[in-house]
Amino acid sequence: MARRGLAAEAAGTAVSPSRTVTLRISRENPADARGGERGFSVHKVPVEKWTTVLDAILDVKKHIDHSVAVRYSCRQATCGSCGMLINGRPRLACFTKIDELGADTVTVEPMKNFPVVRDLVVGFERLFEAHRGVKPYVVGAGGSGGPPGAAEAAPQTPEELERFVQFSACIKCGLCNSACPTMATDSSFVGPQALAQAYRYVADSRDKGREERLKIIDESHGIWRCHFAGSCSQVCPKGVDPAMGIQLLRGYLLGFRK
């Protein structure tokens, strides 16, 4: 039977049956004068095969409850804004299809190890501060901050690029910091995101700030507090391996790598 609105040649295309899942959204407002206790709002949402968790949350926000707070922007795993715990695991909401979760109930909560601003929105101040702290840019020959000028720009071989290129894919979504067990107890820990970025620039053959950067992370709440749980690498949506970067950085500090 031809469906209304479908072109004749597309009528034979299998259309996935829609289903309904239960979406549990964590609700919390620390700024609330009444104490801001945490709870969940529960909604039944229709989903298709292609529906992402972010789509479902925005569906709730649009049609059921406008007050749900969620941060998002690009909807294509590029901006790193929509990180959250989805069924207990840190993921990007825009990059997670409900269908692939294989569950009838989807629970979304704010990322752990970050202060909650409201509902699913967390504060990234500490992440950005740690990121800035490791000088996330190529330091020029004069030791100046910022990228090298045209005169300083040096070509790289594919092998030199290979050493750090995967770490350039970091979108600063904070999922690695959320999954890190050390971040949970050590509020001063630099974190896997910043350490992976430190490695990215330390391993860059154009960078002249290696010693300075290694000194920054070589302190009591720096690189040595990593227990190599590896959960940061497990949850990275861009395939970055911060745990490996941290071990390679340790090689520089211990003198195994030059």
What the block records as the tokens of 196 is 């992976």
Nearer to other proteins, 164 or 252 (CB): 252
Neighbours of 255 (CB within 10 A): 7
Quick check: 253 binds other proteins (CB under 8 A)? Answer: yes
Nearer to other proteins, 157 or 220 (CB): 220
**Interface pattern 206-245 for other proteins (x via CB under 8 A):** ------------xxxxxxxx--------------------
87: left (phi over 0), alpha (psi -120 to 50) or beta: left
- Contact pick of 185, 211, 251, 257 for other proteins (by CB under 8 A): 185
- Contact pick of 182, 197, 231, 233 for other proteins (by CB under 8 A): 182
Neighbours of 57 (CB within 10 A): 25
CB of 172 to other proteins, least distance (A): 23
Tokens 């925005």 belong to residue: 58
Q: Provide the CA 117 distance to its chain's centre, in angstroms.
A: 17
Quick check: 188 binds other proteins (CB under 8 A)? Answer: yes
Quick check: 129 binds other proteins (CB under 8 A)? Answer: no
Closest CA to 227 of 211, 250, 252: 250
**112 near 177, Cβ under 8 Å?**
no
Nearer to other proteins, 118 or 225 (CB): 225
Quick check: 152 binds other proteins (CB under 8 A)? Answer: no
Nearer to other proteins, 239 or 256 (CB): 256
Nearer to other proteins, 59 or 186 (CB): 186
CB of 138 to other proteins, least distance (A): 23
Nearer to other proteins, 18 or 185 (CB): 185
CB of 230 to other proteins, least distance (A): 18
DSSP β-bridge partners for residue 90: 85
Task: Give the integer Cα–Cα distance in Å for 238 and 241.
Answer: 9
Closest CA to 184 of 219, 156, 225, 224: 225
Task: Give the integer Cα–Cα distance in Å for 227 and 144.
Answer: 33
Task: Give the integer Cα–Cα distance in Å for 173 and 171.
Answer: 6
Quick check: 33 binds other proteins (CB under 8 A)? Answer: no
Task: Please report, as residue ranges, which positions from 94 to 113 form the binding site for other proteins (by CB under 8 A).
Answer: none
Count of residues of this chain found to bind other proteins when the rule CB under 8 A is applied: 16
Task: Give the integer Cα–Cα distance in Å for 113 and 179.
Answer: 8
The contact set with other proteins (CB under 8 A) reads 182, 185-189, 218-225, 253-254
